[in-house]
Amino acid sequence: MASGKTNTAQGAKRGAAGNARVSAPAERVAKDADRASAQGEGRLRWASIGICCTLAWAFLINAASSATPGGELSWQASYLVLAAAMVVFGGIAHKAPAFLESAAAGYIAAGLGAAGSAVLVLSFSTPVLSFAQTPATILCSCVLGWLYLQWGQFYVRLNIRTAVGCLFIANIAGSLLKCLAHFSLLPLECAITMVLPVASMLLCRMALIDAPRTGRPAVRFESHNLYGLWKVAAAVATLSFVTAFLVGRSYGNQSSAPADVFLLGRACEVVISAVVLGLVVGARKSFNFAQLWRIVLVLLAVDVLCQVLLPQIRAIRCVESSAWDLLVLFTWLTVADIARHAQADPPLVFGVGWAFYTASFAVGSIVAGALAAADIDVATTTVLMFALALVGTFCLELRDQDTKWIFAELSGERASAPEDHRSIDERCDAVGRAHGLTPRELEVMKLLCKGRTKSYIAETLYLTENTVRSHAKHLYTKLDVHSKQELMDLVDA
C-alpha cells in the first residue's frame, strides 16, 4: 500500500518535472530578461532624468501661448494638436520604426523646437511676430509629441519601480527649471526655452544607450482583454477634463498666477514627488493603479470644494497645479506600463494613450473658457463631484479585475501573463471535475494557483480569511496535497 502510494507520488513528481522541463526555457528567458534589466538599470546615469527638460518645456510653451490676449485659444489648440500629432507619429513609427530611431530626425525635431520656442517667447514683446504665434504653437506641439514618443522608448525598457524613480526625480528637476525660466528676464527665458528641446533630445539618446536591451516582457494586454482598459481611458479622460476645467477657472495657466501661488504650486510638486519617491522607491511600498490615481482624484475633489467654500484664498489655487502635475506623471507611468506589456507596438500605445489625456484637457479648458463669466455654482459643483464619484466607483475599484495588470510589479502580487492564467483556469477546471470540488473550492484553488494570498482571496471573493482557510483545507484533502506549492505543482502552475 505504502509502496503504491510512493510510486504514485514519484510518478506525479516525474510528470511535474517533465512539465517543468517544457516550461523551463520560457522561465529562463524571463529570468534572464529580468536579470539583464536589473543590471542595465543599475548603469543608468543622470541622463535618465532628462525628461525633466521635456516636462519643463511643455510647461513653458503652454505658458507662452496663453500669455497674450486671446492666447487662451492658442493654448487649447496646442493640446488638440498634440493629441493628433502623437496618434499620427505613433502610427508612422508602427509602420516605420526608423522614424523615431533616426539621429537626423532627432536633430531636425530639436532644431524646429528651438526655433518655435524663440518665436513663441519673443512674440510677447514683438508685435511684428504676433502673426506667427499660432504656427509656432502648432510646431512646438508637434515637436513635443515627437519628444514624448522618444522618451516612451526609454521608459518601456524600465521596470515600473525604476520608472517611478526616474520620472519623479525628473519632475523635481523640472519644477526647478520652471522656476528658473519663469523668474528670468525675457532674453534668458527665451534662451532656456530654446535649449530645453535640444537638451531633451540629446539626453534621451544618451539614456537609450544606457537602457537595458532585453526581450519584451510578458504580454498582459492583448486583443481579447484590451476592452478592460476602457476604465483606464475613462479615468484619465475624466480627471484630465476636471483638472483643465479647474485650471481654466482660476488663472488659465500658471504663467499668469501671482508669484506666491506659482512658487507654492512648484513647492507642492516637489513635496509630492519626494513623498512618492520615498514610499515607492525608498520604502518599496506596494501600490496599484487605483491607489495612485486616487491621489489625483482626492486633490481635485478638495480643489472643487475650496473654489466654492474658500474662493477668497488664492493660495489654494496651487492645488489644481499639483493635480495637473500628478496627472501628467501618472499618465506617463500608466501608458508606459501598458506599452511595456502590450501586444501592440509601444509608440502606437503611447500615441493613443496620450491622446485621451491631451484631447480631454483641451475640451475641459474650452468648457471653462465658455463658462468664464459665471461663478462656480451648486449645479457645476454637483456635476464635477458626480463625475469624480463615478471615476472612483467604477474606474478606481481596488479589486477591479480589468485594471489589476497595471503596475502589477508595485502591487505586491505575483504577476504573469493573462494567457498563463487562462491555461491555469482550464487545468484547475479539469482537476476540479476529477476530484469533485465544489464551485467555491474551485474558485479558491484557481486563485491559489495564480499565487494569490489568502487575504487577497478573501477580499476578492468577499469572504473571511477563516472561510478561505477552511476551503483551502478541504480542497487540499480532496486533492491529497499538503501545501500551496504542491497544489501549484499538481496543476503545473
Residues of the domain holding 104 = 42-410
Claim to verify: residue 465 and residue 345 sit in the same structural domain: no
With respect to residue 222, please indicate whether it lies within any of the assigned structural domains. Answer: yes
Claim to verify: residue 265 and residue 234 sit in the same structural domain: yes
Q: Say yes or no to pLDDT of 259 above 50.
A: yes
Residue 415 half-sphere exposure toward CB, CA atoms < 13 A: 21
Residue 105 vs residues 75, 93, 108, 114, 155: alpha-carbon distances, Å: 26, 12, 5, 14, 20
Last residue of a domain, one of 395, 410, 425: 410
Claim to verify: residue 189 and residue 99 sit in the same structural domain: yes
Please tell me the predicted confidence (pLDDT) of residue 223: 66
Instruction: Tell me if 350 sits within 8 A of 339, measured CB to CB.
Output: yes
Claim to verify: residue 117 and residue 220 sit in the same structural domain: yes
> Nearest CA to 253 among 114, 79, 452, 11?
79
Q: Say yes or no to pLDDT of 373 above 50.
A: yes
Q: Say yes or no to pLDDT of 264 above 90.
A: no
pTM: 0.74
Claim to verify: residue 382 and residue 428 sit in the same structural domain: no
3-state secondary structure the chain: CHHHHHHHHHHHHHHHHHHHHHHHHHHHHHHHHHHHHHHHHHCCCHHHHCHHHHHHHHHHHHHHHCCCCCHHHHHHHHHHHHHHHHHHHHHHHHHCCHHHHCHHHHHHHHHHHHHHHHHHHHCCCCHHHHHHHHHHHHHHHHHHHHHHHHHHHHHCCCCHHHHHHHHHHHHHHHHHHHHHHHCCCHHHHHHHHHHHHHHHHHHHHHHHHHCCCCCCCCCCECCCCHHHHHHHHHHHHHHHHHHHHHHHHHCCCHHHCCHHHHHHHHHHHHHHHHHHHHHHHHCCCCCCHHHHHHHHHHHHHHHHHHHHHCCCCHHHHHHHHHHHHHHHHHHHHHHHHHHHCECCCHHHHHHHHHHHHHHHHHHHHHHHHHCCCCCCCHHHHHHHHHHHHHHHHHHCCCCCCCCCCCCHHHCCCCCCCHHHHHHHHHHHHHHHHHHCCCHHHHHHHHHHHCCCCHHHHHHHHCCCHHHHHHHHHHHHHHHCCCCHHHHHHHCCC
Tell me the pLDDT of the chain averaged across its residues. 79
Instruction: Tell me if 110 sits within 8 A of 201, measured CB to CB.
Output: yes
- Cell numbers linked to 403: 485594471
C-alpha–C-alpha distance, residues 347 and 342, integer Å? 11
Q: What is the domain count for the chain? A: 2
Out of 164-168, 185-189, 313-317, 450-454, the most confident range is 164-168
With respect to residue 346, please indicate whether it lies within any of the assigned structural domains. Answer: yes
With respect to residue 15, please indicate whether it lies within any of the assigned structural domains. Answer: no
Claim to verify: residue 233 and residue 122 sit in the same structural domain: yes
Please tell me the predicted confidence (pLDDT) of residue 414: 52
With respect to residue 18, please indicate whether it lies within any of the assigned structural domains. Answer: no
**CATH number of the domain where residue 217 is located:** 1.20.1250.20
The residue length of the chain stands at 493
Binned at pLDDT 50, 70 and 90, residue 109 comes out as: very high
What's the pLDDT tens digit per position in 134-144?
888 889 999 99
Please tell me the predicted confidence (pLDDT) of residue 13: 39
- Answer with the residue of higher pLDDT: 268 or 51: 51
Last residue of a domain, one of 365, 392, 410: 410
With respect to residue 16, please indicate whether it lies within any of the assigned structural domains. Answer: no
Q: Say yes or no to pLDDT of 111 above 90.
A: yes
CA 256 to chain centre: 29
With respect to residue 344, please indicate whether it lies within any of the assigned structural domains. Answer: yes
For the chain, percent of residues with pLDDT exceeding 70: 78
Least confident of 78-87, 362-371, 387-396: 362-371
- Answer with the residue of higher pLDDT: 412 or 326: 326
Last residue of a domain, one of 386, 410, 434: 410
Claim to verify: residue 482 and residue 362 sit in the same structural domain: no
Question: 10 Å Cβ neighbour count for 460?
Answer: 17
Claim to verify: residue 242 and residue 290 sit in the same structural domain: yes
Please tell me the predicted confidence (pLDDT) of residue 374: 58
C-alpha–C-alpha distance, residues 402 and 419, integer Å? 14
What's the pLDDT tens digit per position in 396-454?
876 666 677 788 777 655 544 444 555 777 888 888 888 888 988 888 988 888 777 88
Claim to verify: residue 359 and residue 422 sit in the same structural domain: no
What amino acid occupies position 309?
A: L
C-alpha–C-alpha distance, residues 449 and 479, integer Å? 13
> Nearest CA to 304 among 394, 380, 392?
380
Claim to verify: residue 421 and residue 453 sit in the same structural domain: yes
Q: Say yes or no to pLDDT of 17 above 60.
A: no
Claim to verify: residue 442 and residue 400 sit in the same structural domain: no
With respect to residue 457, please indicate whether it lies within any of the assigned structural domains. Answer: yes
Claim to verify: residue 420 and residue 399 sit in the same structural domain: no
With respect to residue 10, please indicate whether it lies within any of the assigned structural domains. Answer: no
- Cell numbers linked to 170: 525628473
**CATH number of the domain where residue 446 is located:** 1.10.10.10
Please tell me the predicted confidence (pLDDT) of residue 321: 78
